[in-house]
Structure 1
Amino acid sequence: MINTLITLKNAFVKFTGRQLFNSLNFTLNQGKNWAFVGKSGSGKSVLLQIIAGNMSLNGGQITYHFMDGANMQVPDDALATFHRFIAFAGAKHHFKTLSNTSELYYQQRYNSSDSEDSLTVRQYLQAVKVNRHKPPYWTFDKTIAALNLTELCDKQTIKLSNGETKRLMIAAALIKNPIILLLDNPMTGLDVNTRKSFNNLLNEIAASGISIVMATSAFEVPDCITNVAVLDNGDISQSLSKQQFEASEHRVAEKVIIDLDTLKVLLNTSANIHNYSQIVSMSDVRIQYGQKIILNKINWQINPGERWALLGPNGAGKSTLLSLINGDNPQAYANNIVLFDKKRGTGESIWDIKSKIGFVSPELYQYFPTDNSCLQVIESGFYDTLGLFRPSVKSRAELALAWMKALEIDKYATQLLKNIPASTQRLCLLARALIKNPALLIFDEPCQGLDDHQQQHFKSVVDAICSISNVTLIYVTHYQHEIPDSVDKVLRLDKGEVLS
């Protein structure tokens, strides 16, 4: 039996002219499960991509020892590359249309005709090629049961919630029956109960003989993990057993100080006063696709200046509810919904609605084009377009840069969105939501992928904005500690209905 699965020696990696790793060393032995922790941008996700073979080394060597001939027990495997035996569940999915001609697009899940042009959960999983280096432990039936996907088998992938999509990607990785399972922040997007059951699932995965390597928060290291590597500035600064690892050492203790005067200038509150009697009014709202009821008898009144938390488990209907407010769901016209004092269907356009809303969500992050610079991405918030498709306006570009400074990401201003850390990409989209000083902010899981400092800083920025303006806020999260202090109202959903 092979004891060492992978060795990485003196790894040197450059990306877009920036040095990511220099002489990094890592060894994965059989029976060991590793967690990579560290600040955002420290290289956790990049290291996973290197192990997966999705990024090349500029120097050094990576060896896949499990490819030694003695480990290949099926004739077909003699022609296989190491990729066959590594499964990777990353931060983004790559679902295709049924015709496989193009990627799915943002808003597609809410358009009934277009949403049919995607694989069902069953079809997606049945297309996964199963490794036969040993009898498969993770069969289709066992995997969908373990990840609570049984009732979703006939649902189109595009219609899944963020948390459901995360479970599907992990299921696809498991059905492959890999030797090594790589997980990039697998807990993000999962509700409280799912995170608890996922911890038990990881124990079973490890017991089935699969070695697990994951990037995760220092405060969410699962029980199955045996070793922790702390990454800092592209190097492993600490390599220790889980028993030696103290998560408390990685908590940010300093008080976040926000420059209120700067925020007042950015918000320009004296020039932007929103006068509405009602921000949102919903009466007996019902959303249904085929026989499936997504929302049922939803009544919700949001007045100017109110700050709401929208809470509920994965699949509760939160994203669909938000799509009715943000103008993305055409079923809004068939319901009694008033937005910004106007009933839907009385002449207002989608762009009229979007002009009053600053919005960010996991779905927007999933589908947002990445070929613009960070400044262009943020400036596009003025036009509510997915990218900047017109000449930049100097004053607006300067305001975009000022918002980047407020969120501590200005050093990335001229870099393309695709070339910066995922956490910084998310902060750029948050700045995009803030830049036009909208009447309503909708933040759907805005802290996904952010490290402890970034979370605390953003939370403080939101509270500061609420303290000096009359902005209305809807905030969605699965983590109680992420909810800003300014939030004082809660709407809870479960199975498409409001919980009393």
Structure 2
Amino acid sequence: MSNLLLTFSQVDLGRSNDPVLNNVDLKIFQSQHLAIVGAAGSGKTTLLNAIAGDIQPSKGYILRNFADIPANGNKTFTALVAATHHFRNLSNTTDLYYQQRYNSADSEDALTVEDHLQTIARSAPLDTYWTFERTIDLLNLRCLTQKHLIKLSNGEAKRLMLASALLNGPQLLLLDAPLNGLDADTRANFDQILTQIAATGITIVISTSSSEIPTIVSKVALLANNSITLYNSVDFNANRSITDPLPIQRTDLSGLLDKYPVDPYQHIVNMQNVNIKYGEKQVLSNINWEVRQGQRWALLGPNGAGKSTLLSLINGDNPQAYANDMILFDRKRGTGESIWDIKKRTGFISPELFQYFPGDSSCLHTIESGYYDTMGLFRPSDPKKVIQALAWMRLLGIEKYARHLLKNIPTSAQRLCLLARAMIKCPTLLILDEPTQGMDATQVAHFKGLIDTICRDTNITIVYVTHYQEHLPDSIDHILKLAEGKVIECH
């Protein structure tokens, strides 16, 4: 019996006028674990989707050796853990909306973690090693079993998606950037998790940063210039795919920031003993935090620490703000201001945000919607605003995606589109929730330089969330750190 699982032969992926990978020859063998690396937009997700069978080659063929794998009931051959979740509500008829997690009634219109996993487990093969109990223990989900899907943090959702894949008993497990959104401790444990998964006979293919290749990996596929170069992991140099960042055109940037300085405020944020609770779960406990205009804060803490909930309070998305002592932009919450009064002064990026735009949103319309603080452009496009949107796209190096759908472009380009959307109205407060997620090292360096330049040229206030200390721009000069909903560091 051959241990060859899959063969690519002279495969082209992508459209003829927009090629992604050309003439790919690749073989994946059982228990020969593969890491896929390369610059953002090089085709890592496309290759994983082709391996999974979700997209077909435009040339060549892909052979899956099903006959060489023992028949095992309804056992799944491949399972793909995508970079983003696609959870739906209980009726499975309506997509979840962004603010839903913060509204107590609507947030329960979704399965709990336990219900979600048990539904999958009931249809899983009977002889699979990865039972419900083993899976939740491996991925530290036991404490989350009664939590509704919409309330999961980005890192918690990642662990749940991996658990869902394991329950299906795959022979080949495909992981698309699984470390994105995970805190430092979880990332440190991830290598051990993969080792335990591999020990049960599952072959792993993972797209990842060239600096975060798991120890179980024996082969590395470097994607560059529409082609693949295969290396033994011991011979791979992590610096192969790093290039110098794009220069920041300060003249062009100054023209886009001509509305600064913005109106002066004494307090951008002032919280006094803020508490947020959902049922019996205390999410935030006695938070005291003062943000002055022009300050640049890092908001740090592990997955589930309460960072997203805190951001929802200052971004106007959480109705529990009205029951707390909070001032935003020198005005106490609940004194007649609307959510739109807050949002017009705030620019916001988060890893999940792009999922809530309509599927037919082009990148250009996504950026233009920043003028109106809507998830999509629901009015005729304004030619003057289009000119500004295109200028931001040129500055960020993503103008080629102007007419592309937001959902179809690389993750890194999505982040930059959302930065342009956030900045196009020259906000007083810029909230950056893991903004470099999905970017390669070159793009991270460019992004940090861009934020530092904006901070030098304006009085913008920033709150910046990241799980990578090295991703913080030099201009960040204050830290608020949370753990289990409490402030453990503030200076």
Query: Which TM-score bucket, shorter chain as reference?
Result: over 0.9
1:417 CA drift (Å)? 1.5
What whole-Å deviation, never above 9, does each CA across 1:433-455 have from its counterpart, x for those lacking one? Answer: 11111000000000000111111
How many residues were matched structurally?
489
Q: Matched residues in 2 for 1:148 and 1:432: separation? A: 36
Q: Matched residues in 2 for 1:13 and 1:476: separation? A: 35
Contact 1:130–1:176, Cα closer than 8 Å, also in 2: no
The SS at the match of 1:170 is helix
CA-atom RMSD in angstroms: 1.6
Q: Matched residues in 1 for 2:370 and 2:16: separation? A: 26
Query: How does 1:280-429 map onto structure 2 within 5 Å?
Result: 280-429=269-418
Aligned-residue identity in percent: 52
1:16 CA drift (Å)? 8.4
The SS at the match of 2:240 is helix
Letter in 2 for 1:72: P
Deviates more, 1:439-448 or 1:89-98: 89-98
The SS at the match of 1:314 is coil
Q: Matched residues in 2 for 1:53 and 1:112: separation? A: 39
Letter in 2 for 1:5: L
Letter in 2 for 1:239: L
Equivalent residue number for residue 145 of structure 2: 153
Letter in 2 for 1:248: N
Q: Matched residues in 2 for 1:430 and 1:455: separation? A: 13
Contact 2:348–2:422, Cα closer than 8 Å, also in 1: yes
Q: Matched residues in 1 for 2:121 and 2:281: separation? A: 31
Give unmatched runs, 5+ long, in structure 1.
none
Equivalent residue number for residue 159 of structure 2: 167
The SS at the match of 2:354 is helix
Letter in 2 for 1:170: L
Contact 2:124–2:168, Cα closer than 8 Å, also in 1: no
Letter in 1 for 2:257: L
1:21 aligns with 2:21: yes
Q: Matched residues in 1 for 2:57 and 2:245: separation? A: 39
Q: Matched residues in 1 for 2:231 and 2:122: separation? A: 34
Contact 1:251–1:452, Cα closer than 8 Å, also in 2: yes
Q: Matched residues in 2 for 1:488 and 1:332: separation? A: 26
Query: How does 1:93-492 map onto structure 2 within 5 Å?
Result: 93-128=85-120, 135-236=127-228, 238-252=229-243, 254=244, 257-269=247-259, 272-492=261-481
Q: Matched residues in 1 for 2:29 and 2:126: separation? A: 19
What whole-Å deviation, never above 9, does each CA across 1:124-161 have from its counterpart, x for those lacking one? Answer: 11121578778322111111111110000011011000
Deviates more, 1:15-24 or 1:399-408: 15-24
Equivalent residue number for residue 48 of structure 2: 48
Q: Matched residues in 2 for 1:91 and 1:189: separation? A: 10
Q: Matched residues in 1 for 2:125 and 2:32: separation? A: 20
Q: Matched residues in 2 for 1:71 and 1:277: separation? A: 67
Contact 1:35–1:215, Cα closer than 8 Å, also in 2: yes
Using the size of structure 1 for normalisation, the TM-score is 0.95
The SS at the match of 1:399 is helix
Letter in 2 for 1:262: D
The SS at the match of 1:200 is helix
Letter in 2 for 1:87: A
Distance 1:10 1:373, change over 3 A: same
1:426 CA drift (Å)? 1.7
Deviates more, 1:420-429 or 1:144-153: 420-429
The SS at the match of 2:431 is strand
The SS at the match of 1:345 is coil
What whole-Å deviation, never above 9, does each CA across 1:376-406 have from its counterpart, x for those lacking one? Answer: 1101100000111111111111111111111
Deviates more, 1:238-247 or 1:120-129: 120-129
Equivalent residue number for residue 10 of structure 1: 10
Q: Matched residues in 1 for 2:71 and 2:79: separation? A: 19
Contact 2:13–2:46, Cα closer than 8 Å, also in 1: no
Q: Matched residues in 1 for 2:289 and 2:344: separation? A: 22
Letter in 1 for 2:161: M
Q: Matched residues in 2 for 1:133 and 1:111: separation? A: 37
Distance 1:440 1:493, change over 3 A: same
Q: Matched residues in 1 for 2:433 and 2:101: separation? A: 17
Q: Matched residues in 1 for 2:385 and 2:372: separation? A: 11
Contact 1:286–1:297, Cα closer than 8 Å, also in 2: yes
Equivalent residue number for residue 72 of structure 1: 70
Contact 2:347–2:423, Cα closer than 8 Å, also in 1: yes
Equivalent residue number for residue 37 of structure 2: 37
Q: Matched residues in 2 for 1:299 and 1:135: separation? A: 52
Q: Matched residues in 1 for 2:22 and 2:441: separation? A: 26
What whole-Å deviation, never above 9, does each CA across 1:244-276 have from its counterpart, x for those lacking one? Answer: 101133333x36532222211101045x52211
1:59 CA drift (Å)? 1.9
Q: Matched residues in 1 for 2:246 and 2:226: separation? A: 26
Q: Matched residues in 2 for 1:467 and 1:32: separation? A: 49
What whole-Å deviation, never above 9, does each CA across 1:407-441 have from its counterpart, x for those lacking one? Answer: 11111112221232222112111111111110000
Deviates more, 1:329-338 or 1:273-282: 273-282
Q: Matched residues in 2 for 1:386 and 1:260: separation? A: 29
The SS at the match of 1:31 is coil
Letter in 1 for 2:204: I
Deviates more, 1:261-270 or 1:313-322: 261-270
Give unmatched runs, 5+ long, in structure 2.
none
The SS at the match of 1:186 is coil
Q: Matched residues in 1 for 2:373 and 2:147: separation? A: 30
Q: Matched residues in 1 for 2:250 and 2:259: separation? A: 12
Q: Matched residues in 2 for 1:301 and 1:96: separation? A: 37
